[in-house]
Amino acid sequence: MTINFTRRRFAPLLALPFSAVACFAPKQADVPAVPAAQSGQIGQTGQAQAQATTAPSSAAQPTAAAQVAQAPQPTAAAAQPAAAGALNFKVVEQESKAVFRVREQLAGRDLPNDAVGTTGAVSGQLTLRPDGAVVEESSKITVDLRELKSDSNQRDNFIKRSTLQTDRFPFAEFVPTRAEGLPSPLPASGEHTFKLTGKMSVHGVQKDVTWDVKAARQAQQLTGTATTTVSFADFGMTAPKVPVVLSVVDEIRLELNLLATLAA
């Protein structure tokens, strides 16, 4: 996978505490003895106090709905704060592109051609330490596969319904874990070619994938292109089979064209 970051728009990829409060009444053995002369005076008062202490109060007990509302919701890895001193580059959606290319032979055509799908529904962030190491906990790139479009609505509908099954698996996700070839310390500007390895999830299957990346940084902005090749079988998918398509090569060429800005 190659990541090439440029300020231009890119050409057409395919592409997770509850607190509990307990009140304990003092043990009888811990309550100091009361003189007999006073026991009659405080008998009723003590009983009332004990009832007030042990009786449940509807005002003090949160409802089940309130407890759920107060519970923190799971957040995506890319939403977590970056490590101290790390550089957090946030992907600019619709200015970034995900592209897939598959070689197919159509009926009535003399030569094979590439089926190309693209979408600008790319989001997430890439977090790097000053030495160029990836901060896995706060890095993730997500592509909304439901937004993929090619030059044929018929092809798009078939791929989403039968191949990708986007009704069940709407997103492709890539969590980078290691960058090889970046300079250390990471410079504030310049172009670099490196490999970015991580875990990619498509169609409910997770697989380690390495992208070839070409990226450029200019102060607050990062642009780049990342490319890789996978197969339908890698992610438990079957190559499309329809009458008008005579053959499909079991190879998917993926490309990410990213524009990202340095978050404060």
**Amino acid, single-letter form, for residue 204:** G
d(CA 107, CA 74): 48
Average pLDDT score over residue span 221-237: 96
Q: What is the DSSP string of 22-91?
A: ---PPPGGGSPP--HHHHHHHHHHHHHHHHHHHS--TTTSPPHHHHHHHSPPP--GGGSPPPTT-EEEEE
CATH number of 4-16+77-262: 2.40.128.110
Determine the Cα–Cα distance for residues 76 and 63; give it in Å rounded to an integer: 28
Q: Is residue 217 predicted with pLDDT exceeding 60?
A: yes
- pLDDT for 52: 42
Contact (CB, 8 A) for 14 and 99: yes
Question: pTM for the whole thing?
Answer: 0.67
Task: Give whichever of 38-42, 61-65, 207-211 has the largest mean pLDDT.
Answer: 207-211
The domain limits of the chain are 4-16+77-262
pLDDT digits (tens, 9 = 90+) for 113-147: 899 999 999 999 999 999 999 999 999 999 999 99
pLDDT digits (tens, 9 = 90+) for 152-187: 899 899 999 999 999 999 999 999 999 999 999 989
